[in-house]
Amino acid sequence: MSKTFKTLAALKRRAHHIKTKSGVTHAEALRLAAVEAGFQTYVHAQRTLPVGSDATAAPIPERRSDRRRLSPFQAEARSRWETAIADPALGRMAETRIWEAPSKVLRILDRVLSQTHNHALLPRSGGLDLLGARRSNEEGCIELQISEGRGHVVRPGALRLETFIDAPAESFFLLDAKPLEPTDIDDDPDASEADRREIRAWRLGRAREEVLELEPGDYVPRSIWDEGRLGFDANGEEIPLPPSARVIVRWLGGKIMIVSAGSLWNGAPGTYDARHERMSPERIRSAIQWALDALEEAA
């Protein structure tokens, strides 16, 4: 019985499955998938089927045919990533692995982040490189480290690793950030209740707030960091910030995607729009596979 594919992207996903299971070449897998769908050849399917939405969501492939076109940093980043996700500490290799216990999530993140050149795509927009993970001063939270002077606090939900068996450097983590209540620390102590509600809604809309941590767990407004002092004493002398003072970003919810710094996803500037939050893990996989297929066809 013929299989029905509504888009070329769906047919390509079937071809990838055939290639993984049988070991045939990419071109032969495309042909077999096309024949399964009732087409004479893959070219016939290509001329008939719409491309599908995966193409618009996919990272734009770099114009390279193999690793010899990678920069030394990209090549090293990909190699480190492949080693990290194959670590026996992560359990048996599988296309999808999920961890939910906060202690396990913390151990795996720290192990992977500390060994790799990675990049984290953040909720709403933007991204940053991560150096490791540790237990937060906030109960039930972890801290994603970017430097000694800054940290990102997350209440961790499930951590998911989607692995591409044939292209492990394109594998990615998704970390669910459970809802975290805003601190309601306000720069203006005389603000009205209506203003406070507006500020709270603004922070929730951004899914983040920045505060200054003077001592472990002791938060004050972020603006104090910019001023560089706690105020003035009775003699008019500046009260300096304690050596432990540092800026903390608290994530109030959302989803964080972590990839290799040498991955296709990280190489596409458009992915900074946090499209990973609007996509299911399966659709992210499909988008990356579309990019891989496009590279292979162009080679």
pLDDT of 67 over the 50 cut = no
At residue 127, what are phi and psi to the nearest 5 degrees? -165, 170
**32 and 12 share one domain:** yes
Query: Is pLDDT larger for residue 214 or for residue 46?
Result: 214
Asked if residue 59 belongs to a domain, the reply is no
212-232 average pLDDT score:
92
135-161 mean pLDDT: 93
Distances (CA, A) of 78 to 59, 74, 83: 16, 6, 9
Please tell me whether the overall predicted TM-score, pTM, comes out greater than 0.75 for this model. yes
Q: Which residue has the higher pLDDT, 258 or 41?
A: 258
Q: Residue 68 has what pLDDT? A: 45
The domain containing residue 222 runs over which residues?
A: 193-250
pLDDT above 70 covers a percentage of the chain that reads: 90
Establish if 58 belongs to a structural domain.
no
Q: Picking from 45-54, 90-99, 165-174, which range would have the lowest pLDDT averaged per residue?
A: 45-54
Q: How many domains does the chain have?
A: 3
Say which CATH number the domain at 108 has. 3.40.1570
Could you tell me which residues come within 8 angstroms of residue 146 by beta carbon, excluding any fewer than 6 positions away?
128, 129, 130, 131, 152
Task: Quote the CA–CA distance of 260 and 269 in Å, as a whole number.
Answer: 14
Instruction: Assess if residue 166 is contained within a domain.
Output: yes
175 shares a domain with 202: no
Please indicate, yes or no, whether residues 258 and 244 belong to a single structural domain of this protein: no
Based on the fold, state whether residues 78 and 151 are members of the same structural domain: yes
Residue 150 has pLDDT above 70, yes or no: yes
38-58 b/e (C-beta count within 10 Å ≥ 16 → b): ebeebeebbeebeebebbebb
Query: What is the rounded distance in angstroms from the CA atom of residue 265 to the CA atom of residue 287?
Result: 9
Spatial distance between the Cα atoms of 3 and 66, rounded to a whole number of angstroms: 33
Same-domain status, 225 and 267: no
Phi, psi torsion values for 96, nearest 5 degrees: -130, 125
Write down the residue that tokens 């800026």 correspond to. 247
Kindly provide the b/e burial profile for residues 242-274, where b requires at least 16 CB atoms within 10 angstroms of the residue's own CB.
Answer: eeebbebbbbbbbbbbbbbbbbbbbbbeebeeb
Whether the per-residue pLDDT at 188 is higher than 70: the answer is no
DSSP run (H or E) holding 214: strand 208-215
CA 146 – CA 151 distance, rounded (Å): 6
> Which of the four pLDDT bands, split at 50, 70 and 90, describes residue 93?
very high
Q: How confident is the model at residue 295 (pLDDT cuts 50, 70, 90)?
A: confident
Which of the two residues, 167 and 12, has the higher pLDDT score? Answer: 167
* pLDDT for position 44: 87
> Kindly report the CA angle at 103 between 98 and 108, in degrees rounded to 5?
55
